[in-house]
Amino acid sequence: MSSQVTNGEVRMLIDGELVEAASGKRFDNVNPATEEVLGPVADASSADMHRAIDAARRAFDESDWSTNRALRKRCLEQLQAALESEREEFREEVIAEVGTPRMMTFAAQVDWPLEDALTWPAKMIDEFEWERTLPNTEKMGMASRRGVIKEPMGVIGAIVPWNYPIEVTLNKMGPILATGNTMILKPAPDTPWNATRIGRLIAEKTDIPPGVVNVVTSADHLVGEELTLSPKVDLISFTGSTATGRRIMEKGAATLKRVFLELGGKSAMIVCDDADFPSTVPMASMVCVHAGQGCAMQSRLLLPRSRYDEGVELITAGMQGVPYGDPSSDAVVMGPVVSARQRDRVLGYIEKGQEEGAKLVVGGGRPAHLPKGWFVEPTLFVDVDNTMTIAREEIFGPVLVVIPYEDDDDAVRITNDSNYGLSGGVVSASEERATAIARRIRTGSIGVNGGLWYGADSPYGGYKDSGIGRQCGIEGLEQYLETKAIAWPA
């Protein structure tokens, strides 16, 4: 079962050199669909991380990277070409190390970020308003000409999760480099090879100066924490769990670290009573795509009480029909979850749902026909109350909860009664009605009647516990910039 890629890059990129850990230590990269070891990768210690931080600091302070826009544009274009030259290797590798279904590699796992995550920020190097002029002023007898200048933040620690590693990495790297910063990329230990491959391509196929991008892999999360503690790092750009996001803020407070946090979600799909149920309700089984391991997944399905039974019947059939199994197959939309730890966590939530009185109608366990690999069955709970744990916490597994509601106001109330606010969807026969509901949802992104907001030019991030700041779009570029007011005598 599953593609067995074994030629992953072992070495990290530190100060322009492809290197092993100074200790010589390595750790195993494991295929979640087979539980087999794919191969090794360097296991950095804090000392390696500090070498990378020092290199990034030097590259920012002492090279012309931060001011030379033409160089940055050329380097981003070179990196884009290099990534495209190994597109198929990335595809097979991400299927093997992430367990993502092949189908998803033609979308957000590989092809979508290869389309615009670097090319859009590269284009913005020419189009972004780096400087603007303010009206002259007269104060205390002194006339002044005034302006505003945008400058790079400095050294960025980019910490990436395992669920969409290439997508998150490139959507950090594009804006970080386009705006003139230097960076240390810290991938998740579960999925290191896509990052070391990017590091090798940078070293071998681009003019990106030494130290501008460093890639540090480690089995130990606390090696990543050095980024949040170091006074030489100016901003942490983090995507991952809300718990780790909180810890990063706490640990970063001592050095007044800037933070961009893209965290968890518990997004809702609201189906209005006038919607075409047969064509819309089964779409909620999309929560199983990539085994539910997406922060923007719509993991709460809100059905109107007046058509509840009809909706439950349709979504039950939808969840029963989800094709899952070997992620290298063209036919599946769902592979395993990333690790035994995640599988046990998901199964724990399923148990909790039953304990708290939700009705389990599909799945609920490990599939008997897949004894190897960290699989969980597509799982559906109905008659869920929004106060239950499975309605409040991010499960990050193929688990959908169905919650009945009375009217539009009630749907809005239930949706907003969440610590999270990352994404969501509304479907109705009336676009106007769906849009009116969408405007009332406290969330960073929302699709009306299936509309997809995704793109490197589209700001993405969360309200409430779903994060701080925005990835992508002009707002995403701004995040990696400092603002300087400047004045001269008029």
Q: Just list the catalytic residues.
A: 262, 295
**Structure tokens given for 176:** 């970080």
Q: Using CB under 6 A, which residues numbered 331 to 370 contact ligand NAD?
A: 342, 345
Q: Does 49 bind ligand NAD (CB under 6 A)?
A: no
Least CB distance to ligand NAD at residue 341 (A): 8
Number of residues in contact with ligand NAD under rule CB under 6 A: 25
Nearest to 208 by CA among 73, 115, 21, 48: 73
Q: Is the dihedral of CA 341, 4, 160, 264 positive or negative?
A: negative
How many other CB atoms are found less than 10 A from the CB of residue 158?
A: 26
Per-residue mark of binding to ligand NAD, 88-107 (x: CB under 6 A): --------------------
By DSSP bridging, strand 420-421 and strand 463-464 are: antiparallel
On whether the CB atoms of residues 379 and 284 are closer than 8 A, the answer is: no
Least CB distance to ligand NAD at residue 297 (A): 10
Q: Does 394 bind ligand NAD (CB under 6 A)?
A: yes
CA distance readout (Å), 363 to 298, 396, 402, 436: 18, 16, 14, 35
Q: Does 263 bind ligand NAD (CB under 6 A)?
A: yes
Least CB distance to ligand NAD at residue 216 (A): 11
Q: Is the dihedral of CA 185, 122, 61, 247 positive or negative?
A: negative
Q: Using CB under 6 A, which residues numbered 194 to 233 contact ligand NAD?
A: 221, 224-225, 228
Q: Does 53 bind ligand NAD (CB under 6 A)?
A: no
Measured CA to CA, the distance from residue 160 to residue 187 in angstroms comes to 5
Q: Does 167 bind ligand NAD (CB under 6 A)?
A: no
Q: Does 12 bind ligand NAD (CB under 6 A)?
A: no
Measured CA to CA, the distance from residue 15 to residue 489 in angstroms comes to 43
User: Looking at 174, 211, 240, 325, which residue binds ligand NAD (CB under 6 A)?
Assistant: 240
Between 396 and 480, name the residue whose CB sits nearer to ligand NAD.
396
Q: Using CB under 6 A, which residues numbered 289 to 318 contact ligand NAD?
A: 295
Nearest to 326 by CA among 373, 365, 392, 294: 373
From the DSSP assignment, how many helices (H) and strands (E) are in the chain?
Answer: 17, 22
Measured CA to CA, the distance from residue 356 to residue 378 in angstroms comes to 20
Between 282 and 398, name the residue whose CB sits nearer to ligand NAD.
398
Coil, strand or helix: which one is 356? coil
474: number of CA atoms within 13 Å, CB side? 5
Q: Does 239 bind ligand NAD (CB under 6 A)?
A: yes
DSSP annotation of 67: T
Q: Using CB under 6 A, which residues numbered 177 to 196 contact ligand NAD?
A: 186, 188-189
Least CB distance to ligand NAD at residue 337 (A): 9
Work out the end-to-end distance of the chain between its first and last CA atoms, rounded to an integer number of angstroms. 72
Least CB distance to ligand NAD at residue 3 (A): 23
Q: Does 247 bind ligand NAD (CB under 6 A)?
A: yes
User: Looking at 125, 155, 248, 259, which residue binds ligand NAD (CB under 6 A)?
Assistant: 248
Q: Does 441 bind ligand NAD (CB under 6 A)?
A: no
Binding site residues, ligand NAD, CB under 6 A: 159-163, 186, 188-189, 221, 224-225, 228, 239-241, 244, 247-248, 263-264, 295, 342, 345, 394, 396
